[in-house]
Chain A
Amino acid sequence: MFDIDLWREIFQSINKNRTRSLLSGFTVAFAILLFVILFGIANGLKNTFAEAFVDDAANSIFINAGMTTKAYKGLQSGRRIQLKNEDQNFIEDEYGNKVQYITSRIYKNVNASFRNEKNSYNLRAVNPDHQFLEKTMIRDGRYINQLDIDNKSKVVVIGRLVEEDLFLKTTALGKYINLSGIPYKVVGIFTDDGGDNEERMIYMPVSTAQQIYGNNDYIDQINLGYNPELDYDQAINFGRQLENKLKERFTVSPKDQRAIRVRNMAEGTKQVGMMTFGLTVIIIVIGFGTLIAGVVGISNIMIFIVKERTKEIGIRKALGASPRSIVSIILIESILITAIAGYVGLLIGVGVLEFVGPILEPYFIKDPGVSTSLVVSATITLIIAGSIAGYLPAKKASKIKPIVALRND
C-alpha cells in the first residue's frame, strides 16, 4: 500500500518542524553512531586475535618430544625420547574417531639451487594431511599425496617465494630443483596466509626425507587436527588424554614437562573465543542501551508532537480522518525520522571506522568494520525501533476526541 498522499502529508509535517525533527533524529543518529563504532572496534580486536591463528587450523594439536627431566620407574632423567612413524600409527589406531587429520613433520634446512640461483630454505617433510592442518593453498600443480609417501618419490612442493627466488620469472612446475645435491621434481607451488616465511618453505614426502636423511623412521613432530565436532572442553580433554597416553607409552613421568609436549590450540582458541564472546555481549548490551535511550527520546518527542498537534488532529478527524490514517501519519513520521537518522548515524560510524582504522592498528585493533548483515539488521532494528517509539504516541493521537481538541480556549 503505497499512498503518495500520505507521504506528502508526512513530509509536509516533518518539513514544517525541521528543528524538532532534526533534534529527535539526533539522539538516534548518535546512538547508532556509538553502536557502530563500538561494534567496529570489537570486530577489530577479534580480527587481531583471528590473525594470530590464521596460519594454522584452529583445531591443531602439536606433539613434540625431548629429554626426560625426571627419573621414572627406574629410568634415569636425561633420556632422549624419539618420535617414530609407529607413534603416529599408534595415535591413529587409538584415537581414530577423534582425529580429523594427522601428519608427521621432519624439519631440515636445505641449500636449494636451480641453474645459477641458490638459496637456503627450511624444509618440512610431511604427510598429505599436512596441507589441511597448515591451510596450504595450492596455486599450481598438486600437494604431496599418498603415492609419493608409498614410493618415497623424490618430489617437492615449493612456496610461491621459492619459485620467485630460484626460478626467476619462469614456472617451476615440472622442473627439477636441486636440494643439497639431489634433484627433486617440483610437483606443486603453494601460497600461504602465514606470511613470507611460510611461503619460503619446501614440502617433501616424509618417507623420502627419512630415507635420504638418515635412513630411519624418526620424526620430529606429530601434528594432528582433532575432530571439529568436539567442543572446546572435549578437545582440551582429548589433548590431555593424548599426553598421558604418550607419556605412558614412553615410560615418562606424568609430571615431566619436557619429554612429551602436547600443545593444543583448543586451549588458546577457547580463551580467545570466550573473550570475544564476552566483548560481543558487552558491546551488544551497550549498543542496545544507547539504542533504547534513542528510542525513548524519539518516543518522548513524538508524544510532545502529538500534544502539539492535538488541535490539528481534531480538525482532521472532524473532516473525516479515520483513526487509522491518524495512526499512519504519526507512526510513519516516527519510523521515517528514526530510519533516516539511524542511517545517517550508521554511515558516519562506518566512515569514522574507515578513517581511523589504520591509526588503530598499533592498539591491537585491525580492520575495524561492520558487516553487511549487521548493517541490514541494524536497519531492520531501526524500523522496529521507530515503530515502537511511534506506537504509543500514535495510539494516543488516534484516541483524541475532536470535541476536546476543538474546544475554543
Chain B
Amino acid sequence: MLTIKKLHKSYPIGDSSLHVLKGIDLQVEEGEMVAIMGSSGSGKSTLLNIIGMLDEADEGEYILDGVPIKNLTEKKAAIYRNKFLGFIFQSFNLISYKNALENVALPLYYQGQKRKDRLEKALFHLEKVGLKEWAHHLPNELSGGQKQRVAIARALAANPKLLLADEPTGALDTKTSHEIMDFIQSLNDEGKTILMVTHEEDIASMCKRIVRLKDGVIMEDTFVEQVRASQYV
C-alpha cells in the first residue's frame, strides 16, 4: 500500500540547514493502523506531511498504492490528495462559514461531483459519525468532539485509500479522545488503512503498530496488541 525508502528531508535555517529526516524506510500494508510516535522535533510531522503530499522529500522513494510520488505539479498533487488521502487534523480545520454538511461535501466538490450527489453522500457520512441532526450547524455551534467527527466524515467522504491523522485527539479531553479513537478503530475494522501521528502512549497503544522516531530515524517499529477504546467509553 505504502512504501518509503531512504527518505531524506532537510529544511534551510538561515545559512545552515536542519536535517529532519535521515533515511526513513517504512512499509505499510493495507488495513494497518500505524501510530508514529516521537518527541517534538523527531520528524514525525514532517514524515506525515510528506506522506500526505503536503511536502516533498529531498531524496528517497515514496510509492503510494503503486504510484511513485515524485516531482508532482501542484495540480497533480491536488488530484492525488483528493483521490488517495483523507486528512484529520488536531485543530479540526473545518471551514468556519460552512455548515457541517457543506464541510463534508467539500472534497466531493473538488472531485467534480454534482451538488445533489455530494450532499447526499455527505449526509450519509455524517450519519455514519452520528451527526445527521447537526448537518446544518456551523462548526462554532459544535463541541470539540463533534467537530472532529465532522472532520472524520469529511476525510471519509472522498473514500480515500489512506487516512492520515495528525494528533487527532490532541485538542480533546480524555473521554472525547476515547470516543474518537473508538470510531477510528471501527473504521480500521472495516478495512481502512490509518496512519496517525501522536505523542500520547495510550492513544498509540490503541493502534496495531507503533513506529518510534528519534532525531529523524526510526528507532523502533513494533506490532502491538491493540487496546480497544470501546472499553473506556
Q: Could you list which residues of chain A lie within 8 angstroms of chain B, going by C-beta atoms?
A: 4-5, 12-13, 16, 311-312, 314-325, 398, 401-403, 406, 408
Contacts and interface: CB of A to CB of B under 8 A. Distances in A.
Given A323-B75, A324-B75, A401-B54, A318 B91 contact: no
B26 interface: no
Given A317-B78, A319-B154, A408-B91, A403 B111 contact: no
Contacts of B38: none
B201 to A, nearest CB: 21
B155 to A, nearest CB: 9
Nearest to A15: B97
A254 to B, nearest CB: 81
Given A5-B115, A403-B54, A320 B82 contact: yes
A59 to B, nearest CB: 63
Q: Which of A317, A320, A324 is the most central at the interface, judged by chain B CB atoms within 10 Å of its CB?
A: A320
A5 B107 CA distance: 13
27 contacts: A4-B115, A13-B97, A16-B97, A312-B96, A316-B110, A318-B52, A319-B82, A319-B87, A319-B106, A319-B110, A319-B158, A320-B78, A320-B79, A320-B81, A320-B110, A320-B111, A320-B158, A321-B110, A323-B78, A324-B75, A398-B74, A403-B54, A403-B55, A406-B89, A406-B93, A408-B89, A408-B91
Contacts of B75: 322-324
B95 interface: yes
Listed residue (A4, A315, A319) with the most chain B CB atoms within 10 angstroms of its CB: A319
Contact of A318 (B81, B83, B94, B98): B81
Contacts of A403: 49, 54-55
Contacts of A12: 97-98
A312 B110 contact: no
A408 B115 CA distance: 31
For chain A, what secondary structure do more than half of its interface residues adopt (helix, strand, loop), or is it mixed? helix
Contacts of B74: 322-323, 398
A312 B87 CA distance: 14
A324 B98 CA distance: 21
A408 B107 CA distance: 22
Which of A12, A318, A321, A403 has the most chain B CB atoms inside 10 A of its CB?
A: A318
B81 A319 contact: yes
B78 A312 contact: no
A92 B97 CA distance: 82
Nearest to B92: A315
A379 to B, nearest CB: 30
Nearest to A319: B107
A316 B93 CA distance: 10
B124 interface: no
A403 B82 CA distance: 15
Interface residues of B, number: 29
Contacts of B87: 318-319
Contact of A311 (B78, B93, B110): B93
Contacts of A316: 95, 106, 110
A322 B115 CA distance: 18
B134 interface: no
Nearest to B170: A408
A315 B110 contact: no
Contacts of B89: 406, 408
Contacts of B97: 12-13, 16
Nearest to B75: A322
A408 to B, nearest CB: 6
B90 interface: yes
Nearest to A311: B93
Contacts of A398: 74
A13 B194 CA distance: 33
A314 B106 CA distance: 13
Given A13-B97, A312-B95, A322 B79 contact: yes
Given A16-B97, A316-B110, 8 more contacts: A317-B78, A318-B52, A318-B54, A319-B154, A321-B110, A322-B74, A401-B55, A406-B54
Contact of A322 (B54, B83, B110, B154): B110
Nearest to A409: B91
Interface in B83-127: 83, 87, 89-91, 93-98, 106-107, 109-111, 115
Nearest to B171: A408
B111 A402 contact: no
Lowest 4 A-B CB distances belong to which pairs? A320-B82, A320-B110, A16-B97, A403-B54
A5 to B, nearest CB: 6
Contacts of A408: 89-91
Residue with the greatest number of chain A CB neighbours at <10 A, chosen from B78, B81, B98, B158: B78
Contacts of A16: 97
Contacts of A401: 54-55
B105 to A, nearest CB: 10
Contacts of A315: 93-95
Contacts of B78: 317, 320-323
Interface in B60-75: 74-75
Given A311-B93, A320-B158, A325 B110 contact: yes
Contacts of B96: 312
**From B91, B94, B158, residue with most partner A Cβ within 10 Å:** B91
Interface centre among B83, B94, B97 (most CB of A within 10 A): B97
A325 B74 CA distance: 12
A320 B107 contact: yes
A383 B162 CA distance: 43
Contacts of B106: 316, 319
B7 to A, nearest CB: 16
A366 B95 CA distance: 55
Nearest to B46: A403
